[in-house]
């Protein structure tokens, strides 16, 4: 493997980006030394980025909203999927938590990874609501 080194600082990071960039226009043939070099550079870059600029995972409502925006889906589309306009509104406005059945439908129909939808998140509403949407008390 030619000229691979750890990424310890911004200069190393910029070097690695420049090295991997050349493979974007001329993808290496799988199983070759160049393909292995590409994979190693990609892993090194990803590790450095995750260490220096970690991105926290979105909560389920934000993940759903981003997915809808990215795929051109509307609240009306969500309402059709979930069975009612009020249910879609309650979910997007954090007034009601996603249920297992809703998560299953979003996963099977829209192919949203279930992992993105099962994390705990806060529900808005009257004073001191729990994550399950019931009033605490």
**Measured torsion, CA atoms of residues 94, 96, 81, 60, in degrees rounded to the nearest 10:** 50
pTM assigned to the model: 0.58
pLDDT (average), residues 13-32: 93
* Range 90-115 burial, b when 16+ CB lie within 10 A, else e: bbbebbbbbeeebbebbbeeeebeee
pLDDT at 55: 83
Treating both helix axes as pointing N-terminal to C-terminal, what angle do 75-82 and 85-92 enclose, rounded to 10 degrees? 120
Give the pLDDT confidence of 103-122 residue by residue, as tens digits.
999 999 999 999 999 999 99
Give the pLDDT confidence of 28-49 residue by residue, as tens digits.
999 999 999 999 999 999 999 9
CA distance 80 to 44: 43
Per-residue pLDDT band for 128 (boundaries 50, 70, 90) equals very low
Judge contact between 86 and 96, C-beta under 8 A. Answer: no
Give the pLDDT confidence of 51-94 residue by residue, as tens digits.
999 888 899 999 999 999 999 999 999 999 999 999 999 999 99
Per-residue pLDDT band for 126 (boundaries 50, 70, 90) equals low
Closest CA relative to residue 88, chosen from 108, 72, 73:
73
Per-residue pLDDT band for 1 (boundaries 50, 70, 90) equals low
pLDDT (average), residues 4-16: 95
């Amino acid at each position: 493997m030619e000229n691979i080194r750890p990424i310890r600082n911004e200069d190393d990071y910029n070097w690695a980006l420049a090295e991997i960039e050349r493979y974007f226009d001329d993808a290496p043939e799988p199983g070759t030394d160049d393909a292995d070099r590409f994979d190693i550079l990609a892993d090194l870059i990803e590790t450095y980025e995750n260490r220096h600029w970690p991105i926290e995972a979105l909560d389920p409502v934000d993940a759903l909203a981003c997915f809808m925006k990215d795929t051109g889906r509307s609240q009306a589309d969500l309402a059709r999927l979930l069975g009612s306009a009020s249910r879609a509104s309650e979910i997007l406005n954090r007034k009601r938590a996603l249920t297992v059945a809703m998560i299953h439908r979003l996963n099977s129909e829209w192919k949203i990874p279930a992992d993105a939808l099962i994390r705990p998140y806060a529900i808005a509403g009257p004073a001191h609501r729990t994550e399950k949407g019931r009033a605490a008390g």
